[in-house]
Amino acid sequence: MNRARTALLTAAGTLLLLAAMEAAGRLGVLGESWPPLSQVVAALGDPVTRDLLGRALAATATAAGTGFAAGALAALAVAVTGVLLPVLKAGLDRLAAVVHAVPLIALGPLLITTVGREGTPSVIAALAAGFAVFVAATSGLGAASEAHRDVFRALGASRRSTLVRLQLPAAVPLLLDGLALAAPAAVLGAVVGDWFGAPRGLGVLLVSSMQNFQTELMWSAALSAAAISLLAYAALAGLRTAAARRFA
């Protein structure tokens, strides 16, 4: 009953939003750069446009996916290092904060000269996703209760054994929360990374269609980026709900 109601409200909200977009476009209240939604969808009927968008989408999704995986693994490795070598913990926390504080845009020129134009989107995606995962992993690894820690200490558990048998399993729900937040960040990072001269990608398409006043194309690129963000988020959030029952 309750779940059905939630689903109904979600569907109603989505419909309302889409209808508002359509209406705003038809009435032209937000100017010429806001086309009706139906017109954006209709533009996808053209095979050339569809092909163009498809390739851009594939490029961005690949960059976001590799960046997400690499960023998440690196962040987890850094968080685990902080647990195994407590002397490094404070330093690693600060390093992560400093890296995160540097605007991603400012790293562009540096990345172009180091990893090249093609690699830049995935690296920026990795940096964007990595911080969210790092924060989640750090708090997740500290989430085990005091009583559990006492039991492990009294059992004479090594730091590694405590990590593997207590801290990592206890971190799973928070870690999946972090991953769910990191996925949209990775997509955004990949799109931003496209702007530094990547050969193709949604970011490239956004900029070129904007400059050429191809409003429908620009919107379809923007909506595609939003769609993959939402899909990745929904998938990981679902996984988290399933895991919460198992691990908490």
Partner 1 sequence: MATTGISESPPAAPAPPAPAALELRGVTKEFSLRRSRTVTALESVDLTVGHGEFVALLGPSGCGKSTVLRMVAGLEEPTYGEVLVEGGAPAHLVRRHRLGIAFQEHALLPWASAYDNIALPFRVAGRPVDAARVTELLELVGLEGFADARPRQLSGGMRQRVAIARALVLDPEVLLLDEPFGALDAVTRRRMNFELARIWADQRITTLLVTHDVDEAVLLADRVVVLTGRPGTVRHVEEITLPRPRDRALARNAEFHDIVDRLTALLDEGAE
- Binding site residues, partner 1, CB under 8 A: 145, 147-148, 150-157, 161, 165-166, 169, 246-248
Return the number of the residue (5 or 245) whose C-beta is nearest partner 1: 245
All residues at 6 or more sequence positions from 205 whose CB lies less than 8 Å from its CB, including other chains: 52, 53, 56, 217, 218, 221
Q: How far is the CB of 158 from partner 1 (least distance, A)?
A: 8
Q: How far is the CB of 178 from partner 1 (least distance, A)?
A: 18
Return the number of the residue (117 or 148) whose C-beta is nearest partner 1: 148
Distance CA 56, CA 187 (A): 13
Q: How far is the CB of 83 from partner 1 (least distance, A)?
A: 16
Return the number of the residue (57 or 166) whose C-beta is nearest partner 1: 166
Return the number of the residue (161 or 241) whose C-beta is nearest partner 1: 161
Distance CA 111, CA 78 (A): 21
Q: HSE-up of 23 (CA within 13 Å, CB side)?
A: 6
How many Å from the N-terminal Cα to the C-terminal Cα in the chain? 25
Q: How far is the CB of 174 from partner 1 (least distance, A)?
A: 14
